[in-house]
Amino acid sequence: MRTVFWAALATFLLDQISKYAVVHGLNLIERQEIAVAPPLLTLRMAWNTGINFGLFSDGSGSRWLLIFVALAVSAGVLIWVRRERPRRAGLIAAGLLVGGALGNVVDRVIYGAVADFLNMSCCGIDNPYAFNVADIAIFIGAVALVLTPAEKGA
């Protein structure tokens, strides 16, 4: 469980520090967009009240539902880790997922929405969506948990 805790803490801190630095330090709220390495990487401010790609962003009721779902999924992952005792890769994956989920929960509680700011486009395709460090961690953690062998660790 220590591995899960440290991976979750590192993910959570990286997410929250990056959001604070970009939103407040670079004043992305006012500037709205900063070209970092055009067209590949742009910092583009977006307040996401839903989930990926703006799904379920229909009102304030979804805010508390999404907070509950994120906390329930995090608790479920922690219960699974405690029961199944996966190998190190599974523990790190669980920490990424939990840390990312909690990072987005904090945003929803404080701001009422998740601060998304990373936008990547390539090869003539303009991606209209933004994401954040927590989203990356949740995605990698979930995929890694699915791909992690079911063998139990010591």
Residue 152 has pLDDT above 70, yes or no: no
Q: Where are the domains of the chain?
A: 2-123+132-147
In 3D space, the residue among 47, 97, 55 whose CA is nearest the CA of residue 72 turns out to be 97
Counting residues of the chain whose pLDDT is more than 70, the rounded percentage is 90
Residue 119 has pLDDT above 60, yes or no: yes
| pTM recorded for the entire structure | 0.89
Q: What are phi and psi of 34, to 5 degrees?
A: -135, 120
- The angle at the Cα of 73, spanning 68 to 74, to the nearest 5 degrees, equals 100
User: What is the per-residue pLDDT across 53-92, written as a single tens digit (0 to 9) for each?
Assistant: 566 666 657 888 999 999 999 999 999 999 988 999 999 9
Residues taking part in catalysis: 116, 135
